Structure 1
Amino acid sequence: MLGQAQEFASRIEQTIRSTLPCSPTVRVQQFPDTGRVRISPVDASDPETAERLPLTCNGETLAFWTFYMFAEVTDDGFLKIDRSRVALTPVFENVPVARLEFENRATGAPTSHWQFHAERGALSFILARTRRGGKRERVPMSLADLHFSNGGRRFRPGLEDFIEFLIRECGFDSRDGWRAAVEDGRELARRFQVRTIARNYPAEVAEVLKSRGWKVEPPDDFDEWESTATLREY
């Protein structure tokens, strides 16, 4: 697993260095007791300290962004992201403006979701009415408490999408050629997702291929049972 994780971390590091004007060191940290690894940017002079990556406009630092990922190996030997978080934080405070999170073992919030730390009077009014007298009455009525679902564990946004959001939507400084670097990383990440879907739902894939003229035959020990939980979850 360590080799796969280090290769993944190296790819992330290269993508960031090719898109944003910063040069992070993305490190893999092992946790033998859980069988997981953590992938995150660290201070080059102190590998035990997580690094906040600066975001600039015309050279002036206006915000920071951070990320981490926990990964483990599946039963068939593939690296799987179990938990991740990417956050955008203004330079003048520690509360993030936005967070993109994934929790494979989530039981309440959507598996993959955005959270926004901002307020708007109209939304506060709506939440005050919809939660009055109900089971969620005691839950704080704020935008930051809402989880905006975005595709589940198979169709969720990736780190490359967050980077493009920082550059295109927020207007932070970028490197020449950033778009090609983002698209290369996104294509590779989505191809991995396509392969995972094919492994998990081979009968569905085979049916589509047959409809396109392919000749596909299942192995003798093929089990038709499929887990639909990933396709149905919030």
Structure 2
Amino acid sequence: MALSHEQFNDTVREFIDDVAQAVNCFPSQLWTIEADLADEESERLRAVVDAKVDLRAPQAEPMDTLALFTANYKLCTDSYGDHLAVEHSSFVLKATLDRTPIIRWDYDRDARSKPSSHVQMTAHRGALSHLLSRLDHATPHSIESLHMPMGGDRFRPCLEDIIEFLIRDCGFQGSHGWRETLRSGRAKWRRIQTRAVVRDCAEEAADQLVAMGYTVTPPAEGHRRERTDRLTAW
């Protein structure tokens, strides 16, 4: 059954709670979340969620912000109209010094000329620029022009993955208990994605369940058509 405006906005509020759980892995005074819910006057179900986090070293002075991390989501309904879906997401790490993006993790549900899930890096040129020049690349010195694929619609990294990278690998300050919070949020995200994958290829899921000893009864009209557009998308 297609989501109503009220149901959609209730689902968005739950989504916001999940984002808040994730960014709360940073000290609470360093982050904010803003959201625009679906307009009751509009026929389209769309919402926007923006999270911003000031990143500091663990022993930093109170005002010593080294970088800014932003997480932006544009939300809609899935192809069937009955589940919340991410239309676009962008996780961006920027240096405070010059506000230049360092790493950008993007997802576009309807990407055409680039991978739907990809990462862009603003990095030093070196050997990679030399190779791109030899390949007659249009912008060999612009490393951020490369869109590195990250698993498409279903298998892209979640917010919790990026936050763990910022705390564990980069060394930014985390809050107490961040590890368990991220583990819980990541598990929830992957369960949701598992359901989405099953909707893409229900017959494959049914075959696997049967192979594991489950009894599966297809609907009277047969298995839902396989979403080859999702399974083959870059």
Q: TM-score, normalised by structure 2?
A: 0.88
1:54-86 CA-partner distances (Å, limit 9, x unpaired): 101012321111111001122241100000101
Partner of 2:16: 9
Asked whether 1:35 is paired with 2:45, we answer: yes
**Pairwise mapping of residues 1-234 of structure 1 onto structure 2 (< 5 A)?**
1-17=8-24, 19-23=25-29, 24-30=31-37, 32=39, 33=42, 34-41=44-51, 52-57=52-57, 58-59=59-60, 60-74=64-78, 75-131=80-136, 137-139=137-139, 141-223=141-223, 225-234=225-234
Q: Is the 8 A contact 1:29 1:39 kept in 2?
A: yes
Q: Is the 8 A contact 1:36 1:70 kept in 2?
A: yes
Q: What secondary structure does 1:8 align onto?
A: helix
Structure 1: runs of 5+ lacking an equivalent:
42-51, 132-136
Q: CA RMSD in A?
A: 1.6
**1:144 Cα offset (Å):** 1.0
Q: Is the 8 A contact 2:9 2:38 kept in 1?
A: no
CA distance in 1, matches of 2:27, 2:89: 23
- Deviates most, 183-192 or 196-205: 196-205
Q: What secondary structure does 1:64 align onto?
A: strand
Q: Is the 8 A contact 1:5 1:28 kept in 2?
A: no
Matched to 2:228, the amino acid is T
Q: What secondary structure does 2:187 align onto?
A: helix
Residue 224 to residue 73, structure 1, CA distance change in 2 (3 Å):
closer
CA distance in 1, matches of 2:56, 2:228: 44
1:159-204 CA-partner distances (Å, limit 9, x unpaired): 0000001001100111121110001000000000011112221110
**1:223 Cα offset (Å):** 4.0
Q: What secondary structure does 1:153 align onto?
A: helix
- Deviates most, 110-119 or 22-31: 22-31
Residue 195 to residue 224, structure 1, CA distance change in 2 (3 Å):
closer
Q: Is the 8 A contact 1:20 1:173 kept in 2?
A: yes
Residue 126 to residue 179, structure 1, CA distance change in 2 (3 Å):
same
Matched to 1:213, the amino acid is G
Structure 2: runs of 5+ lacking an equivalent:
1-7
Q: What secondary structure does 1:168 align onto?
A: helix
Q: What secondary structure does 2:153 align onto?
A: coil
Matched to 1:105, the amino acid is D
Partner of 2:5: none
Q: TM-score, normalised by structure 1?
A: 0.88
Q: What secondary structure does 2:176 align onto?
A: coil
